[in-house]
Chains A and B, each alone.
Chain A
Amino acid sequence: MKKFFTIVAALCLLLMASGSSFAAGKKLIVIITPSHDNPFFKSEAVGAEKKAKELGYETLVLVHDDDANKQSELFDTAIARGAAAIVVDNAGADATIAPVKRALQAGIPSFLIDREINQGDLAKAQIVSNNYQGAKLGGEEFVKLMGEKGPYVELVGKESDTNAGIRSQGYHDVIDQYPDLKMVARQSANWSQTEAYDKMESIIQANPDIKGVICGNDTMAMGAMAALKAAGKGNVIVVGFDGSNDVRDSIIAGDIKATVLQPAYRVAQMAVEQADDFIKKGATGQPEKQLMDCVLINAGNAKKLETFAIED
């Protein structure tokens, strides 16, 4: 009897799912990102959803909270719903290979934004910011702000994300050319504002003379800046990466000194456009892996920045 109910329930769900996606004859695009607590990811979701609706798709917006298991379940949801495409900012360069493969086997193409996976020929597109180019821009600005010398700290992003590695590489390829810049601490704060605040607090205690903090993203820069101000060290040079409105406001207020804009909103829209091309024509017309250049944001152009896009 229990089994019977399960089957009925499953059938109902299936009907509901198919009912909603076929009712208006609309195809479904599932949009999966990390938590919208970080405005960067929210901007991606908003950009992708808007473009998908414009192009006549139904959308389902989901978050994986950087949990690879949860992401795997969300892929299964997309497969069960018979999605026409999945647009995803993924939860791990290695952990995401399996779900993308599973979707592909179910006939559902995936379009990756922001973060890569370590295997090609699975996703139909991987559109990522040119993090290396961006990190070098941020690194060069940091060196200039520091006057090419002094003790500094690096806050690194989440280990499972290629972007944490590539940004750190870009920073060091620039900064390490200046022997008078001394790194006194390097820690991961997992992209998190609160974690950055906590880590920064203890780093300040151990290294009261630090002159600068270079961060792998803007939320960590916000956390670091808050900890520095709380310790009466608001004049320490902080540089971030992303180009969020929070950091823009902080730059205008004279706190954080610079960040690097990733065109997150546009990247999300491009992924949907390419998904649409693929659904309609069977090809995106672009190479699988695509780099989008970043732009340096400082006091000179911060006012032009709005929701991960800059006015020309």
Chain B
Amino acid sequence: MPTMPSPGRKGLALAALIAPCLFALLFASCTIVPDKDENADKKDKIDIYFASDKFNADEFVEKAWDAKVVPFFEEKALPIGEVLAALAADPKTAGSKFGYREKAEGSPWNYRVKGEGKIVGVNTESRASTVDVDLDGDGVADMAIQIGPVIKDTGIRDSLDFISFTNFTNQLEFARLSNAFNKKVNEAVLASLNREGLMGKEVAFTGVFTQLQDPKAVRLTPVILEVK
């Protein structure tokens, strides 16, 4: 790393000028804005290099969701029992048989699955809420389904074969796309969910989970979710 800034870096001087103003703005907003909106406000005030509004991720997702994403999952989803059995048998080879990833190395497999089960656990203390689902009727949870509002992973974006990082200007756009998909899950799949009394209910789902370091940790992001 250079210890001195390269000559002619006007940006640095500019940043030095802007930074104090930015902080001033930040503090100003923190004192006025009520707690609830503080985060959204704080985020808007932070200047992220290369962030631009040229690409509207929400609009992209809005156009794609009903027309392409939902039909895609209806077509591609495999029975979850089959996939979990393959993962249990050999986590190293399950991916190439049942999973999808855009390139050969360095990113996890995504499994597009569907199935039915019974809710045997509800975890709603965290904003990243989940329900535990028993698939085989033994009363023990076999997987978790994310019910938001915070949705982890980028499984939806990364399991669509018509979406490629190559077609996006930079990582910022691509990150924003994954957030927009997760936001859409909240709106289209989870908004109508009655979060009270989920325990013990039968559930049918279609969605995606990403193979994590622990192959037994199955955290599904739903694309279709029906609580009976």
- Which of A's residues lie within 8 Å of B, judged by CB? 34-35, 37-38, 65-67, 93, 116, 118-120, 128, 130-133, 156, 159-166, 168-170, 172-173, 176-177, 179, 182-183, 185-188, 190-195, 219, 263, 266-267, 270, 286-293
Contacts and interface: CB of A to CB of B under 8 A. Distances in A.
Interface string B22-48: 110010001000010011001100101
10 contacts: A35-B2, A159-B12, A162-B170, A177-B127, A266-B106, A290-B102, A291-B107, A291-B171, A292-B105, A293-B107
B22 A186 contact: yes
Interface in B1-36: 1-3, 5-6, 11-12, 15, 19, 22-23, 26, 30, 35
A306 B4 CA distance: 28
A133 B107 CA distance: 11
Q: Which 4 pairs across A and B sit closest by C-beta, in order of nearness?
A: A165-B49, A292-B106, A132-B175, A289-B165
B11 A159 contact: yes
B48 A169 contact: yes
Contacts of B15: 159, 187-188
Contact of A291 (B46, B106, B127): B106
Contact of B172 (A166, A183, A186, A286): A166
A98 B89 CA distance: 50
B50 A118 contact: yes
A85 to B, nearest CB: 19
Contacts of A166: 50, 170-172, 175
Contact of A66 (B6, B23, B166): B6
Nearest to A140: B152
Contacts of B39: 176-177, 179
Given A37-B1, A195-B3, A164 B49 contact: yes
Contacts of A266: 106
A193 B1 CA distance: 8
Contacts of B51: 165, 169
Main secondary structure of the interface of A (DSSP, over half): mixed
A186 B19 contact: yes
Contact of B105 (A120, A133, A191, A270): A270
Nearest to B42: A176
B6 A173 contact: no
Nearest to A127: B106
B174 interface: yes
A290 B106 contact: yes
Contact of B3 (A164, A185, A194): A194
Interface of B: 1-3, 5-6, 11-12, 15, 19, 22-23, 26, 30, 35, 38-39, 42-43, 46, 48-51, 102-108, 127, 150, 154, 164-172, 174-175, 178-179
A291 B170 contact: no
Nearest to A36: B1
Given A116-B170, A177-B127, A183-B42, A293 B175 contact: no
A162 B105 contact: no
Contact of B49 (A159, A193, A195, A219): A159
Contacts of B178: 132
Contacts of A185: 23
Contacts of B175: 132, 166, 169-170, 173
Contacts of A118: 50, 169-170
Contacts of A286: 103-104
Contact of B164 (A37, A182, A287): A287
Given A159-B49, A290-B165, A132 B2 contact: no
Given A93-B50, A116-B171, A192 B3 contact: yes
A287 B35 contact: no
Contacts of A128: 171
B172 A162 contact: yes
Contacts of B166: 120, 287-289
A187 B19 contact: yes
